[in-house]
Structure 1
Amino acid sequence: MLAGAALTGAAPAAAVRGAGTDVAPGVTYEEFDVPAAKGVTHAHLLTVDLRDPRVRLDLLYPGAVAARAPVSRMADTAGAVAGVNGDFFNISEAQHPGVAATGATVGPAIAHGRVLKAAVPDGQRFGPALPPGTTTEDVFGVGVDRRARLGRLRLDGSVSTPGGRLPLGGLNQYALPTDSVGAFTDRWGSVSRVRATCGTNTDRAAACSTDTYEVTVRHGRVVAASDKPGSGPVAAGTTVLVGREAGAQWLRKLSTGERVAVRHRLVAFASGVPYRFALGGYPVLRAGQPLPGLDRGTSAVRTAVGIADGGRRLLLFALDGAPAYRSGLTIAEVADEMRALGSVDAFSLDGGGSTELVAREPGAAAVSVRNHPSGGAERPVPNGIGIFSAP
C-alpha cells in the first residue's frame, strides 16, 4: 500500500527533523520538507547504522539481470525491512524498432558477493548526462569489511581457445562495445540478446550491427552457433558468447566441439576491498565536496544514498512524487542536501517514476511504500538497495 496518501495535493508542511521512528534495530525512518529553487519538496530518509552487527545491506533484484519488479515485492521476497530503488536501466528502445528493451541496468552489479553484470559503455547509458570525470563503472556498495564506499568496478575477462585469446568486452550487459565479444550466463535471464549489438560506444541510438555471431559454450566446449543473438534462458554450466563486428568475425573461427575457456571478474579500483554488494549510478559528493559540473537547472524527483562516519552510517534519501512536491531537486541540490544531512560521499540513483522508498511499519511483516511514486504507482525496476536487520 502507499503510506501517507493524505499528502497528495496538500500544501508543504513545516519541516520537522529529529522525529524519526525505528524500523528495526539499527534502522530509522523520517520524513521532512526541503526548500528548493523551484519550491518546497518532501523527502523520505532511512538512516542505517552498520556498526550494529545485526544490520546489513544487499542488492535487491528479481532473480535475473534482465528482469524488473516493484521494490516492495523484491524487499518482501528477500526479507528486507526497508529499501530504495537502484540503478538507471534500459527502459525503452524507440530508436531500434523491433528490438525489445531488456530492463537491465547501466552499471555493474554484485549481489551476495556474486558478480551479476558489468557496465555498458558510457555512450550507451540511460539517464541524465554523467557529471565530468564519472563513468558507468562507478558504484556504491558495501565491502566484505562491512564499510560502505564509492568506487569503480571494471570487467577483467577473456575468452581462450586453442587458436588464441580475446579480451572479454562485456558480461550480462544490454550493450556491448563495438568490435567486442560479450558473455551471457544463467544470471542474465530469458530476454533477447539482440539489444547488446545495437548502438555504438558513443551513440546509444545508432543502428544495430549487421555483423553479429553467437556461440553457445557448455561445460567448456562449443555446442551451437548462430548468425544472430538469440533469446531464452541460459542453462547452468553454459555461457553464450555474443560478438559484434570484429568480435563476430573472431567467433566464426570456432568449431563445434572446440574447447573454450571463459573467465570474468569485476576488479575494484581504489580500495581494493572486494564488494559484498554493489550497484551503479553516479557520484555527486566526494570527501564532503560536490562534484564540479553538477546540473543546477533540471529539477526532478530523485533517489540518492549518502555515506558518513567512515562508511559505517548510511543515508538513503528519496523524494516524494506527490503533485504538491513534484518539482523536486536538481542534482546539485541533491549533493548539497546530502552534505547537509551529514554525508561525506553521496551517490545518485535512478529517479523520476523509479524513485521509491519502502520500510516496514512497527510490527508489520511486510514493507509499505513511504513516498508517493510520481507515476501514481510503483514502477517495476531491475534492482535496489535492501536493508536487512536481524531481531
Structure 2
Amino acid sequence: MGKFGDRFFQTRGILFLLLIYISIGAVVTLGVWDQVAAKEPAAGNKGAHLQSVSVDSDTDGLVVQLGLEGPLSYRVWSTPSPSKVIIDLHNTVVGTGVQGFALDDVLAKRVRITQYPNYSRVVVDLAHSVPTPIHEVQGNTLMVYINRNYRQGYETLVAPGVRYGQFRQGGEAGQVLVNYLRVSPRSRASIRPVLAKGGAGGLETVDSMAKAHDAIAAVNGNFFAGNGKPLGFLMIDGEIAGYPIYNRSAFGITATGQVLIDQVDAVGYFQWADREPITISGVNRVRRTDDLILYTPEYGKTTGTNHFGLEVVVEQGVVIACSEEGNSLIPPQGFVLSAHGNSRELLSDIAVGDPVTAHWELRPDWIEMGVVHAVGAGPRLVKDGKIAINGVEERFQSDVLYGRAPRTGFGVTETGEIVLVTVNGRRGAVSVGMTLRELAELMITLGAVDAINLDGGGSATLVVRDRVLNLPSDGRERPVGSAILVLAD
C-alpha cells in the first residue's frame, strides 16, 4: 500500500490506565487523536462534485478513494467513540447515484454519505478506534489510508524494579488489548505461586489472593479442577501441591532467583515382592484409558476414579485391599495403584498381604536442582528466542492449540527479567484475543527468550495494586485455583 507507517509504541509517563467502559464492552482510548487541518479552497472556488466512493482492503488496512471533479477543499478527522473516520468535503455536492454501502471487513462496518447545505460528509464506521489516518490527493482522487496494523500504549513504574504496561494492537484479525508486567532480576520483588484460600482448597479470585498476601501485582496460575485442585505441576516452597501431567511445560524459580522453563514429568515404578519393577503412567492425576496411576495422600482423601478399573491399596508397604469399585480411600501412610484397560493385568495377581513398594521422581529433578517454586501449564511458546509451540506433544486439545482466546503467558528475557502477560479476548471488536502463535510472537516482542502459556480464557486476570487491569471475558473475575504473585521482599 505504501502509505502506512511502521508500527509504533507511544510511551507515556506516569499515567496508570486510560479505560473508558461503555456498556458490556470497554472502549479503550489511547494515543492522541489529532484533527488534520483542512486544505483551504483556492480563490474563486465554485465547488466540486463527489462522483464516486470506493474502499479497498488488504492486510495493511483500508484505502478510501473519493473521485471528485472540481476544486477540492477537505478535512479528514476521526473519533474514538463511536469509532469512525470522517471526511468533510467543503463546497461539494454528492453526485447522482453516489450512496453509502456496507463493508465486509473486521475493521470497518459501513460507509455513510450525507449531503449538507455547505459540504458533503463521508463517514467510515469502524469496529474500533485507529490511529490518525493518512491522506493525499492523486489527480482527481482523494486517498485516505486507514491503518489496521498499529500499537499504542504506555509503560509505568509501579514499584522498584516492577513495571506495568498496556497497549492496544491492531492486526488482520482485529484489535487486541494487552496488559503486562516486567519484574527486574535486580529488584527486591519476588515471584511465588499461591493456592486459593490460603492452601485450604477451593476457588478464589486473583484480586482476593493478591490482597491476602499484600502483593504488588498478580496473574492467574495453572489449570485447575472444579474444586480448585491443580491440574498439573505446582510447587510452593519446595512442597508439591500438584503433580506434572503429560510431560507438560512449566516454569521454576530457584532459591537464588534463577528461572527455569522446561517440560517436567513425574516418572516412577512400583515393585511387587521380588519381581521386576513396573513403570507407572503418572502420579496424582486423572486416570485415563490404559493408565496405571499412583495416588498419594497429597492427591486427596480418595482417588476419584470410576469403577472401570482395578485398584490396589497399600499401607506401610503392605497391600490392605484390592477393589474394582473405584474411588478408593488413600491411606495417610500409603498409596493406591489404579489401573485401567490393558494395565489391569499388571495388578491382577496382587493379593492382600503382599509387599508392594513404589518410587517416583521429577524428571528433570527440579527438587535436586534447587527449585522452590514451580507452575506447570503449557504448552511451551518460546525456546531460545524462537517460536517453539509443542502443544501436540503435550496433549492439548485443538481448541487450546488453534483457537483465538484470552491468554496468560509467562516468559523470561536474556537478562533474567520476568514478563507476565494477559491478552483480553471474547470482547467483540474491543479485543479479539490471540492464538498461541500470536501469543508466542508477542512474548518475543516483549523480549522473552523462553516462555510458556498459562491458563487463559475466562481465567486470564492481571491485578496491580488491588485493581483488575485487564478485561476478564466473563465480565467479572473468575475464581481460580491458584495465582502467581509479585511480592515486595
If the length of structure 2 is used for normalisation, what is the TM-score? 0.60
More strand by proportion, 1 or 2?
Answer: 2
Which residue pairs with 1:39 in the alignment? 174
Identify if the C-alpha distance between structure 1 residues 258 and 76 changes in structure 2 by more than 3 Å, giving closer, same or farther. farther
Which residue pairs with 1:224 in the alignment? 321
Which residue pairs with 2:205 in the alignment? 70
Q: Which has the larger radius of gyration?
A: 2
Which residue pairs with 1:13 in the alignment? 29
Q: Is 2:485 the partner of 1:373?
A: no
Identify if the C-alpha distance between structure 1 residues 220 and 73 changes in structure 2 by more than 3 Å, giving closer, same or farther. farther
Structure 2 CA distance for aligned equivalents of residues 190 and 243 of structure 1: 18
Q: Is 2:278 the partner of 1:166?
A: yes
Identify if the C-alpha distance between structure 1 residues 304 and 27 changes in structure 2 by more than 3 Å, giving closer, same or farther. same
Q: Is 2:457 the partner of 1:352?
A: yes
Q: Please report how far the alpha carbon of residue 354 of structure 1 lies from its aligned counterpart in structure 2 after TM superposition.
A: 1.6
Q: Is 2:436 the partner of 1:331?
A: yes
Q: 2:184 aligns with which of 49, 54, 63?
A: 49
Identify if the C-alpha distance between structure 1 residues 298 and 249 changes in structure 2 by more than 3 Å, giving closer, same or farther. closer
**1:199-234 alpha-carbon deviations (Å, 9 max, x no partner):** xxxxxxxxxx83x112222232223332132166x4
Structure 2 CA distance for aligned equivalents of residues 219 and 292 of structure 1: 43
Superposition CA RMSD, Å: 3.4
Contact map agreement 1:5 1:372 (CA 8 A) in 2: no
Contact map agreement 1:143 1:274 (CA 8 A) in 2: yes
Structure 1 CA distance for aligned equivalents of residues 285 and 215 of structure 2: 27
Q: 1:58 aligns with which of 192, 196, 199?
A: 192
Identify if the C-alpha distance between structure 1 residues 298 and 189 changes in structure 2 by more than 3 Å, giving closer, same or farther. same
Q: Please report how far the alpha carbon of residue 313 of structure 1 lies from its aligned counterpart in structure 2 after TM superposition.
A: 0.8
Instruction: Give the secondary-structure state (helix, strand or coil) at the position aligned to 2:174.
Output: coil
Structure 2 CA distance for aligned equivalents of residues 231 and 368 of structure 1: 43
Identify if the C-alpha distance between structure 1 residues 139 and 227 changes in structure 2 by more than 3 Å, giving closer, same or farther. same
Q: Please report how far the alpha carbon of residue 256 of structure 1 lies from its aligned counterpart in structure 2 after TM superposition.
A: 3.0
Structure 2 CA distance for aligned equivalents of residues 297 and 259 of structure 1: 48
Structure 2 CA distance for aligned equivalents of residues 355 and 191 of structure 1: 30
Which residue pairs with 1:156 in the alignment? 267
Structure 1 CA distance for aligned equivalents of residues 241 and 221 of structure 2: 14
Identify if the C-alpha distance between structure 1 residues 185 and 56 changes in structure 2 by more than 3 Å, giving closer, same or farther. farther
Map 1:186-265; keep pairs closer than 5 Å: 186-190=297-301, 193-194=304-305, 210=308, 212-230=309-327, 234=330, 236-265=332-361
Instruction: Give the secondary-structure state (helix, strand or coil) at the position aligned to 1:338.
Output: helix
Identify if the C-alpha distance between structure 1 residues 67 and 158 changes in structure 2 by more than 3 Å, giving closer, same or farther. farther
Q: 2:363 aligns with which of 263, 267, 277?
A: 267
Structure 2 CA distance for aligned equivalents of residues 73 and 19 of structure 1: 25
Contact map agreement 1:46 1:315 (CA 8 A) in 2: yes
Which amino acid in 1 is paired with 2:287?
A
Map 1:11-160; keep pairs closer than 5 Å: 11-14=27-30, 17-22=153-158, 24-52=159-187, 54-62=188-196, 68-77=203-212, 80-89=215-224, 105-121=230-246, 136-160=247-271
Which amino acid in 2 is paired with 1:314?
I
Structure 1 CA distance for aligned equivalents of residues 430 and 298 of structure 2: 38
Map 1:300-315; keep pairs closer than 5 Å: 300-310=405-415, 312-315=416-419
Instruction: Give the secondary-structure state (helix, strand or coil) at the position aligned to 2:484.
Output: strand
Identify if the C-alpha distance between structure 1 residues 297 and 185 changes in structure 2 by more than 3 Å, giving closer, same or farther. closer
Identify if the C-alpha distance between structure 1 residues 40 and 68 changes in structure 2 by more than 3 Å, giving closer, same or farther. same
Identify the range of structure 1 (36-45 vs 69-78) with the bigger mean alpha-carbon deviation: 69-78
Which amino acid in 1 is paired with 2:193?
L
> Mind listing any 5+ residue stretches in structure 2 that lack a counterpart?
1-17, 32-151, 392-399
Instruction: Give the secondary-structure state (helix, strand or coil) at the position aligned to 1:160.
Output: strand
> Mind listing any 5+ residue stretches in structure 1 that lack a counterpart?
92-101, 122-135, 196-208, 362-366
Instruction: Give the secondary-structure state (helix, strand or coil) at the position aligned to 1:158.
Output: strand
Instruction: Give the secondary-structure state (helix, strand or coil) at the position aligned to 1:247.
Output: helix
Which amino acid in 2 is paired with 1:387?
V
Aligned length: 339
Contact map agreement 1:65 1:188 (CA 8 A) in 2: no
Which residue pairs with 1:94 in the alignment? none
Q: Please report how far the alpha carbon of residue 351 of structure 1 lies from its aligned counterpart in structure 2 after TM superposition.
A: 1.7
Identify if the C-alpha distance between structure 1 residues 74 and 231 changes in structure 2 by more than 3 Å, giving closer, same or farther. farther
Identify if the C-alpha distance between structure 1 residues 79 and 12 changes in structure 2 by more than 3 Å, giving closer, same or farther. closer
Which residue pairs with 2:484 in the alignment? 385
Identity of aligned residues (%): 25
Contact map agreement 1:217 1:240 (CA 8 A) in 2: yes
Q: Please report how far the alpha carbon of residue 142 of structure 1 lies from its aligned counterpart in structure 2 after TM superposition.
A: 1.9
**1:17-73 alpha-carbon deviations (Å, 9 max, x no partner):** 454241x44333232212233222211111112333x33222222477985443334
Which residue pairs with 2:379 in the alignment? 282
Greater relative contact order structure (CA < 8 Å, 6+ sep): 1
Contact map agreement 2:175 2:431 (CA 8 A) in 1: no
Identify if the C-alpha distance between structure 1 residues 262 and 292 changes in structure 2 by more than 3 Å, giving closer, same or farther. closer
Which amino acid in 2 is paired with 1:20?
T
If the length of structure 1 is used for normalisation, what is the TM-score? 0.74
Contact map agreement 2:379 2:390 (CA 8 A) in 1: no
Q: Please report how far the alpha carbon of residue 314 of structure 1 lies from its aligned counterpart in structure 2 after TM superposition.
A: 0.7
**1:132-152 alpha-carbon deviations (Å, 9 max, x no partner):** xxxx42222223442213211
Structure 1 CA distance for aligned equivalents of residues 160 and 315 of structure 2: 46
